Chain A
Amino acid sequence: MVQSVYRYRWLLYELTLRDLTLRYRGSALGFAWTFLNPLLAMLVYTLVFSVYLRIPIPHYAVFLISGLLPWLWFSSSLTIGTSAIVDGRSYVGSSMFAPVILVVVPILTNGVNYLLSVPLLLALAAYFGVPIGWPILVLPVLMGIQILLTLGFLLILSSLNVFYRDLQQLMMTLIGMAFYLAPIFYPLTQVPERYRPFLFIDPIVPLILGYQNIFFYNRLPNALEVSYALVVALALCFIGRRVFNRYKDAFADYA
């Protein structure tokens, strides 16, 4: 699997680039949408949760967006990636290239979008006077674990979705629910102590907390939480690889 990604790395690069450029081709604002979407979401959330519901956090916009951006990366990758094999049926049915490429593309495309919106976050932090220091150096570690985690999920989801299309629908609902259950627009401290461990059932949560530590609290992510995310990510990749390899020969028949 790793070899086939390497062998088709140029195709991966080209498909990712195509996704990034075609998404906005023909739209007047073009690439600006990468910033505008989270910015508009931020305005609404800030109004609702900081002004109306008064969640007691200073510089709420910075807190929110530090967790919201990686969440958007995660959730859009999962939504698009679950149907990646089915949507790529014209490739799967007429050529021999490794279908795992189709699954990696949405992770990379949305990852690039994430990276491009980090300057927005930095600007926002500077505007509100939230300091961001050297903990930002561990950002690549968090991103790396997030890529593995998303990939692990998608290897399982995208291959099962070929046979059970219900998954696509189910994922939309689950992702919508998971957003409210993850401490993104409220801090973890708002959650009653006895409920907190359950939040970690969703393995993206420790990573979200990590991003908030870097961009809002100006401290290092919690090593234990990050390790937990890494272990789950590796386990999912291991299972995902087996599931994917088991079913990939049938993709051309069913997709």
Chain B
Amino acid sequence: MSRESIVVHSATKRFRLVRIPKRTTLKEAIVKRSFFTNARRNEVFVDAVHEVSFDVARGSMLGILGRNGSGKSTLMRLLAGIYKPDSGSIKVDGDVAPLLSLGLGFHPDMSGRENVRMNGLILGLSPRQIDRRLDDIVDFAELRDYVDVPVRMYSSGMYMRLAFAVAVSVNPDVLLLDEVMAVGDAAFVAKCLDRMRLFKRQGKTIVLVSHDTGAIAEWCDSALWIDEGRVRMTGTPDRVADAYTVALAENDYRSGSIGAGLLEHT
């Protein structure tokens, strides 16, 4: 096994965006003879992640910073193997447990228990493994009294706690967390942090996306700042977090979203 758990080399992920044409009336459609929307004409290509390279050492925690739409979530999906890069390469060693959107596969009408089963199965556990862990999961999520209640009756905090508890119970080699602790209270965040420290001691790797620069500076071993799909800065978390905070305050980069350049492209 190599020292690096994640190696990303010059990865690019391109998206085809389709603009939904402005609504036309039937009369206009007849006059302009544009019954069939020409999808090709309305599409725009955007690099959500552009030639990004970095690596993460085994047993360490990387924090990713960036504004909304800067490409953080796309990068996480690339790491999870959900998206394939259009160019470049991405190597991730071992089992990956992505916690990318809260409560993936949570069905509102099913109980917490049923959803834990489903979520565990999606993450690749067997029913026996899930049964063995169910108590732990429920205890960790502090949902003992609510485990048989449909999750549509959960608060967003309860929802998040359950999702987080399932993801860490998988015992993955690489844990991907995309902005999932934002809805937890201080006590639960502290508990998550404890669990992540334990993970690191076991030589597991964590990638964390967060808007909380303080948290990144405090918890992570290294940080990555991405801006419009490109790496803007890498380094120690406190330095990157400082630079990012300063840049935000100076307002020197106003609309760092991938859609910002849309008009120029068309």
Contacts and interface: CB of A to CB of B under 8 A. Distances in A.
Interface of A: 7-8, 10-11, 14-15, 18, 22, 25-26, 90-97, 249, 252-253
Contacts of A252: 77, 82-83
B214 interface: no
B117 interface: yes
21 contacts: A10-B127, A11-B121, A14-B118, A14-B121, A15-B118, A18-B107, A18-B110, A18-B114, A18-B118, A22-B109, A25-B109, A91-B105, A91-B122, A94-B82, A94-B100, A94-B104, A95-B80, A97-B122, A97-B124, A249-B84, A253-B16
Closest 7 CB pairs between A and B? A11-B121, A94-B104, A249-B84, A94-B101, A94-B100, A252-B82, A96-B81
B121 A8 contact: yes
A211 to B, nearest CB: 34
Interface string B121-145: 1111011000000000000000000
Contacts of A8: 121, 124
B35 interface: no
B253 interface: no
Find the residue from A7, A10, A18, A91 having the highest chain B CB count within 10 A: A10
B124 to A, nearest CB: 7
Contacts of A10: 121, 126-127
B96 interface: yes
A8 B127 CA distance: 11
B15 A253 contact: yes
Contacts of B80: 95-96
A121 B107 CA distance: 34
Contacts of A253: 15-16, 83
Contacts of B82: 92-96, 252
Contacts of B83: 252-253
B98 interface: yes
Contacts of A96: 80-82, 96, 98
Contacts of B81: 96
B140 to A, nearest CB: 21
A93 B76 CA distance: 11
Nearest to A25: B109
B82 to A, nearest CB: 5
A144 B187 CA distance: 54
Nearest to B130: A10
Contacts of A249: 84
Nearest to A91: B105
Contacts of B105: 90-91, 95
B108 to A, nearest CB: 10
Contacts of B126: 10
A7 B109 CA distance: 27
B229 to A, nearest CB: 15
A142 to B, nearest CB: 31
Contacts of A92: 82
A22 B122 contact: no
Given A91-B105, A95-B80, A249-B84, 10 more contacts: A8-B124, A14-B117, A14-B121, A18-B114, A22-B109, A90-B104, A93-B82, A94-B98, A96-B98, A97-B124
